[in-house]
Chain A
Amino acid sequence: MSAIARLRTAAASAGARPASAALRPAPYRRRYFTGLLIFIAVALLAEFLYGTASDTQHLVNLWLVYTIAIVGFYFVFGLGGRFAFCQTLMMAVGGYTTAYFSVHIGFWPALVLGVGVTAVLAAILAILTIRVQAFYFAIATLAASQIGIEILRNWSGFAGANGVQVDIDTPTWFGTELIDERSFFWVILGVVVLVLLLAILVERSPLRRNAVAARERELAAESSGVHAKRLQIGLFVFGSALGAVAGALLAGWEATLSPDTFSIDLAIAIFVGVIIGGVGSMWGAVVGAAFVVFLPEVLTGLEQYQTIIYGAILLGGVVFLPRGIAGIGNDLRGLVLTRLGIGGREEEAREADAAVPREPEPAAEAARETGTPLFDPRAAAAAEPPGEPLLDARDIVVQFGGLRAVDGVSLTVRRPGEILGVVGPNGSGKSTFLNAISGVQPFAGSVTVRGRPIHSGRRTKARAAGLSRGFQTAQNFSDLTCLDNVLVGAADRSMTGFLAAWLARVPMWRRERVRWREAQAALHRVGLVGVEDLPARSLTYGQHRLLELARCLAGRPEVLVLDEPSAGLNDAETDLLADLIEQLASEGLSILLVEHKIDFVNRLCQRILVIDAGKPIAEGTPSEVWNHPRVAAAFLGSAVSHA
């Protein structure tokens, strides 16, 4: 454990109110604007040292314009995880719309209009296609681009003959006509800084962690309450709007537009820009933009090799540098810090090791240590009028083609704090049943949590209704820190959108502090201490289970659904887990437990439901069901009776 972490833990366990700095998740801790200032300095140096002739000035401006487009694409592809092929179309729509209206209403109002039109178009495209994944989304957007560019080519009334638009109003800035490269530099730099500012505020907001979670594991993110598709549509629209800004600036600055500008080659350059910079950070996109603009200059006389280099970069990038140049930068930084003995990879690993064996804490203790009145399901339960069952699943049927995987299973949990076991042979439909009642798998029948319905196939609804679930293999978000992992499941989901990030930072910040404390408390609750800042990928298998559990608890569920939580744990870990589950139940949390380990089930469950071949065959206390003849037959095969 590092000295800082040790101090922090010491302070926390001494009951001191933890300093907010120590509780801040990593994204909020670093200074906001260092990167921006460095960028401005580099841009100024480039302009005044390198951009001394009009052709080099031109390149610097091009770099700035591409930066906007590629940062936009970073939000679509890097953060949103959407393999889109239409950033060039968005640039074109922004550019042509701005060009068309600029002669009527002036350049800057036309730019705003162009960005707005593009955003609407992007929203429509995204809403129509967001449900298809990876490759399908790529070709859907590729098809849309090809069609869009073809329309621009043919629609001479709007885009000029053959799509070549030369009738573009020269932009002015407070009465000065912008004609030379230098004056354009200042204007474009201003726009870039504004754009980067908006981007930084999104990067330093809860939106980022939710987006990373949705990108990495959509199912787990949605089950934790993240509206993955809505979020990705938002990122797509934002990124496309930035593309439109770039296209509009291109129109005003070049004073001419041609469909050939927005060819597949530009699309590939944008991909190369994002890949070379690394999809992990928006600053990678800035570096990547510089690369695609200046590479052809470096290769003077060798232009024919440019495409082959792009190809090698795309391939080499994904094979050797999955995290891009920015990733190498981080690795180097980690290496240097490790040498100096302050953090870094090895330190992370040691911290993770040191954090393992720790008893889970009861709610009261965790609350005291983290200075937070923890989620208390009992309080919630007491506040509700009795009568409505906690969890009520009626006649659940799940059909796969001709196969009924779950065939009319019902169950009810009435008492807060009850642990209900669901057991059955392999393939009996237990997991499918869980998937159905947690809204993952479309089903027929009805599920309510305290009368609040969970709709078929609506994942986020289940969590909103008060049901959290763990997965058969723990589903954590390996690119996020442990604290961020828990925060993804936070019960309070207000102030996590774009508008909060841009316009309501103070209220957002306040909500975040409450959420941080609760997440901290949830980590203490499951016995994971000192790992807050470690990336989830550095955890051991057993710790992954606990982290997922902490994320579930952060949603303040009334019903917790666990799918074989002890799978893959050793005996000591299994015992710790059983203790934890018992404690949680004793505090009033109802638990639905699917398990294979019979001892584990018998120890924890007051009541067991046995499923075989999708149908319920017995229900009762452990001794009742295990003596039931149909249960014996289901588990051991009917041959046993002849033996």
Chain B
Amino acid sequence: MSEFLGLCASGIALAAVLTLVALGLVLLYKATNVVSFAQGDLMTAGAYVAFWLTAQEHIAIVPAYLLTLLILFAVGVAMERIAYAPLRRASPIAVVLGTLGVALAIRSALGIWQGTTPKNLSSPVGDGSVNIFGAAVTDQRLLVIGVTAVIVLVLGYVFNSTRYGRQLRALAADREAAQLMGIRVNGLATIAFGASAALAALAGVLVAPLGAIDLNLGFNMMITAFAVAVLAGFGSIGGIVVSAILVGLVQQVLGNYVLQDYSDVLPFGLMLIVIIIRPRGLFTAMQGSRV
């Protein structure tokens, strides 16, 4: 039983990280209609920058983390300028390929900068753990879950109750109409790219102490986060959270008891099934499309 609870806890911690990555993906998608293949490498970059600031520059943890988010926000904005602004009129496939190019560039730049040996980022809350019904849950996992919960609440508020949120929803509902109503689409795109990169960086910073930092840290996580976003139909925040928990539990619990060899690809299987059977996701109503 305690093993099961432990697996559930790591499943939910994984779900928390996936939620952050998927939120970044969906936010960007809503604002710009772009699904970015760079999200994973931005996450890796976040982990490396945090490692650089804390372990190499010896900056205190909280300012270092804040600085990391700021730097990655700037990287996101730069990415919008380089890889999205020139491609506004190009086909969606060209834009996606462009983000893949950015992903590769970021990854190899990180490799040139920090080398290929894995790095370890120490946890800001130490290596302790809490006993919950006999299952030891590390403090870092609790931190991941807690921070994600806060972010989800904040984003929920921004999305539902602020001007930016309303504009974003208008954009997602009907791009052309929103543009005609005077929403500054370009400004929103810039912010969305920045915020989405910062969310990826936060995920990287939070997940890094649970393992080691290497160049593939984010890319693999991103594909799993695609699964979350697809399950949620690139839709609501609630849908993302539920999908992330589903994916996290499937991977940790099912992957541990039944299909040990395939635990890493279980989310992909789930995603493939959803794309085949219900491409609009589990939580979105089927809608007619207009021509």
Contact = CB atoms under 8 A, between A and B. Distances in A.
B30 to A, nearest CB: 14
B60 interface: no
A139 B106 CA distance: 21
Contact of B275 (A129, A268, A307, A398): A129
A417 to B, nearest CB: 28
A134 B93 contact: yes
Interface stretch (A144-152, A182-190, A332-340, A384-392): A144-152
Interface in B42-92: 82-83, 86-87, 90, 92
B97 interface: yes
B276 A129 contact: yes
B288 A147 contact: no
Contact of A135 (B87, B96, B102, B112): B96
Nearest to A438: B291
Interface string A146-172: 110011001000000000000000000
Contact of B279 (A136, A268, A441, A442): A136
B107 interface: yes
A81 B93 contact: yes
A427 B107 CA distance: 49
Contacts of B271: 139-140, 143
B239 to A, nearest CB: 16
Given A305-B108, A307-B108, A308-B104, A144 B97 contact: no
Interface string B20-33: 00000000000000
A441 B86 CA distance: 34
Interface in A280-318: 304-308, 310-318
The size class of the interface chain A forms with chain B is: 35 or more
B261 to A, nearest CB: 4
Contact of A311 (B102, B264, B265, B272): B102
Contacts of B223: 139, 142-143, 146
B279 A132 contact: yes
Contacts of A219: 291
B111 A307 contact: yes
A136 B223 CA distance: 12
Nearest to B35: A135
Interface in B260-291: 261-262, 264-265, 268-269, 271-272, 275-276, 279, 285, 287-288, 290-291
A138 interface: yes
Nearest to A316: B101
Given A139-B271, A154-B261, A399-B288, A311 B92 contact: no
B132 interface: no
B230 interface: yes
Most B CB atoms within 10 A — which of A129, A135, A271, A313? A135
A306 B105 CA distance: 10
B100 A128 contact: no
B288 A318 contact: no
A307 B107 contact: yes
B262 A138 contact: no
Contacts of A146: 223, 264-265, 268
A435 B291 contact: yes
B154 interface: no
B34 to A, nearest CB: 9
A135 B288 contact: no
Nearest to B262: A150
A275 B92 CA distance: 15
B104 A400 contact: no
A544 B282 CA distance: 42
Contacts of B87: 318-319
Contacts of A319: 83, 86-87, 98
Most B CB contacts (10 A, CB to CB) among A128, A134, A308 go to A308
B287 to A, nearest CB: 6
B173 interface: no
A81 B94 CA distance: 11
B226 interface: yes
A308 B107 CA distance: 8
A212 B174 CA distance: 29
A393 B103 CA distance: 52
A311 B103 CA distance: 7
B279 A315 contact: no
B241 interface: no
A134 B230 CA distance: 14
A83 interface: yes
B275 A400 contact: no
Interface string B230-246: 10000000000000000
A146 B266 CA distance: 10
Contacts of B97: 271, 275, 314-315, 317-318
Given A136-B230, A154-B262, A305-B108, A128 B287 contact: no
Contacts of B98: 314-315, 318-319
A131 interface: yes
Interface string A315-353: 111110010000000000000000000000000000000
B94 A318 contact: yes
A400 B290 contact: yes
A308 B291 CA distance: 40
B268 A268 contact: no
Contacts of A81: 93
Contacts of B100: 268, 271, 311, 314
A573 to B, nearest CB: 24
A140 B272 contact: yes
A637 interface: no
B227 interface: yes
B130 interface: no
B137 to A, nearest CB: 29
B125 interface: no
Nearest to B269: A147
Contacts of B82: 315
Contacts of B104: 268, 307-308, 310-311, 314
A374 interface: no
B109 interface: yes
A617 B159 CA distance: 42
Nearest to A399: B288
Interface in A10-67: none
A98 B82 CA distance: 44
Contacts of A400: 287-288, 290
A123 interface: no
Nearest to B104: A311
A228 to B, nearest CB: 15
A311 B268 contact: no
A441 B291 contact: yes
Contacts of B272: 129, 140, 143-144, 147
By Cβ-Cβ distance, the 8 closest A-B pairs, closest first, are: A311-B104, A314-B101, A315-B101, A311-B105, A307-B108, A143-B268, A308-B108, A318-B94
9 contacts: A134-B96, A135-B35, A140-B276, A147-B265, A305-B108, A305-B112, A307-B107, A311-B107, A398-B288
Given A305-B112, A311-B100, A318-B90, 17 more contacts: A129-B272, A134-B92, A136-B275, A139-B226, A139-B275, A140-B275, A143-B265, A143-B269, A146-B223, A147-B272, A150-B264, A304-B112, A311-B106, A314-B101, A314-B104, A318-B87, A318-B101
